[in-house]
Amino acid sequence: MVERGLDGFFEVFLRKKSAFFDKKALQSSYIPETIPHREEQIKQIANILAPSLKGDKTSNILLYGKTGTGKTLTIKYTTKKLMEVAERENIPLKILYINCKLKRSTDTEYRLIAQLARELGKAIPPTGLPTEEVYRAFFKALGRQKQNHIIILDEIDQLVSKAGDNALYNLTRINEDTESQISLVGISNDIMFVDNLDPRVRSSLSEEEIVFPPYNAVQIQAILRQRAEQAFNKDVLGNGVVEKCAAYAARDHGDARRALELLRVAGEIAGRKSADKITTEFVDEAEQKIDRDRIIDAVVTQPKQYHLVLYSIISLRPGRKGNIFTGEVYELYKSLCGKTGTSVLTQRRISDIISEFDMIGIVNAKVISKGRYGRTREISLEIPEEILPRVKAILEDTIRV
């Protein structure tokens, strides 16, 4: 019975024509053959990196620009082309791409250097060794091969804010005592991040700076059209869909990644509903879905203590004219801990947890002064009403143990 029904399901699934032709083209890892509106940046990067083909050291570069302005894509595209030539001509050149934001993999000094060493073929344990030791292994791996290395550090601002600039300092000085050359390419969302860098690191790192301005709506449309052509079958894209995605993405700042995600999710929704066309309504749905998924996901992945704090905030919310303050949250949190038999954290820590909620956007917490009655954070929920019950259920689930 059941099996037969399932067979039917798969059959229908198989027959159903998919709105997608090549979903890859809408994913952020996809590197298209041309990159619209980044010709200038590509040319600059190419100029700077070209000497590496002749075995010369190239200047270090910093790439700036907000999220979704094509920094990562552009550098990957350019270095890919560079690498193709190097391989064809048998030129020793190595390109290491590191995303410093990847949690638990490259967000500390130890892990960054360990990862670099690994890319050069050295096995480094994930922990246990003194950092010194890891550096030695990395240097050795470098020196052994007489060749140029281009090290791309994506989200370099994250690295600096979490791990400091020690690693960068050491990396920028390597060229002094090793056979092989290394050039650094830093990618950052934050233009100001160089300010808290050691001056020596700063000057060395930013020998060249390239800025990626936000795309405007028209440019994003061009990008979407290019990708959509690859991704979708003919005629499934309804009128105004591209425009709408572009408009949404351009609203705050020209984030092409967001636009592509909108388009992809809209397509997925259309596909799931077996619609034969992607219409602008699906774009609206996609926007909501992305938003909600983000929040749900953010909540689910939090540990128990965080759930207790969030639950306290939610419980304090109903029927409040004003907002919620840290002190009240802490009081409720404490009693909740008592009821559930959880160890109680200090208010200092809870304060930090609330800040973290603020940062990921499920709560809004502003420091205000109540004058005579002290200074505190004014907290309000940022979770849409529609998914609040679901969030609450998730929280209750983990709390009652």
Is position 354 an interface residue for DNA (rule: CB under 7 A)? yes
The residue from 222, 344, 360, 387 that contacts DNA (CB under 7 A) is 344
Q: Which of 12, 218, 349, 359 binds DNA (CB under 7 A)?
A: 349
Beta strands at 375-381 and 363-369: parallel, antiparallel or unpaired: antiparallel
To the nearest whole angstrom, how small is the minimum distance from the Cβ of residue 115 to DNA? Answer: 10
Q: Taking the complex as a whole, how short is the minimal distance between the CB of residue 344 and DNA, in angstroms?
A: 6
Q: Residue 12 burial by CB count (10 A; 0-12/13-18/19+): exposed, middle or buried?
A: exposed
CA of 78: how far to CAs of 33, 40, 187, 252, in Å? 11, 12, 14, 28
325 contacts DNA (rule: CB under 7 A): yes
378 by DSSP, 3-state: which?
Answer: strand
In whole angstroms, the minimum distance from the beta carbon of 374 to DNA comes to 2
Site string (81-100) toward DNA, x via CB under 7 A: --------------------
Q: Does 357 help bind DNA (rule: CB under 7 A)?
A: no
Minimum distance of DNA from residue 167's CB (angstroms): 10
Report the nearest approach of DNA to the CB of residue 128 (Å).
Answer: 2
> Residues with Cβ < 8 Å from 119, sequence gap 6 or more?
96, 98
Q: Give the binding range for DNA (CB under 7 A) out of 107-115, 142-150, 218-226, 271-279.
A: 107-115
Residue 355: its H or E element: helix 347-360
Closest approach, Cβ 213 to DNA, in A, equals 30
Q: Are 126 and 114 in contact (CB under 8 A)?
A: yes
The residue range among 1-9, 82-90, 101-109, 214-222 that interacts with DNA, by the rule CB under 7 A, is 101-109
Does 361 bind DNA (CB under 7 A)? Our answer is no
Q: Is 127 in the site for DNA (CB under 7 A)?
A: yes
For residue 313, the surrounding DSSP H or E stretch is helix 304-316
Does the protein bind DNA through residue 377 (CB under 7 A)? yes
Q: How far apart are CA 376 and CA 370, in angstroms?
A: 8
DSSP assignment string, 174-208? GGGG-SSEEEEEEEES-GGGGGGS-HHHHHHHTSE
Stretch that binds DNA, among 84-92, 152-160, 277-285, 370-378 (CB under 7 A): 370-378
121 binds DNA (CB under 7 A): no
The only residue of 8, 92, 126, 361 in contact with DNA, by rule CB under 7 A: 126
CB-nearer residue toward DNA: 244 or 377:
377
Distance CA 120, CA 347 (A): 45
CA distance 49 to 185: 10
Placement of tokens 């990847």 in the chain: 102
What is the number of residues in the chain?
A: 401
Surface-to-core class of residue 38, CB atoms within 10 Å of its CB (0-12 exposed, 13-18 middle, 19+ buried): buried
CA-nearest of 253, 279, 251, 258 to 267 is: 279
Closer CB to DNA, 282 or 357, in the complex:
357
Contact status: 109 vs DNA (CB under 7 A): yes
Antiparallel, parallel or unpaired: β 181-188 and 61-65? parallel
Residue nearer to DNA on the CB measure, 83 or 102: 102
Contact characters 291-320, DNA, x per CB under 7 A: ------------x-x---------------
Binding part of the chain for DNA, among 179-187, 239-247, 264-272, 341-349 by CB under 7 A, reads 341-349
Out of 233, 274, 335, 355, point to the residue binding DNA (CB under 7 A).
355
Q: Which residues are near DNA by CB under 7 A?
A: 104, 107-111, 125-132, 162, 303, 305, 325-328, 330, 343-349, 351-352, 354-355, 367, 369-377
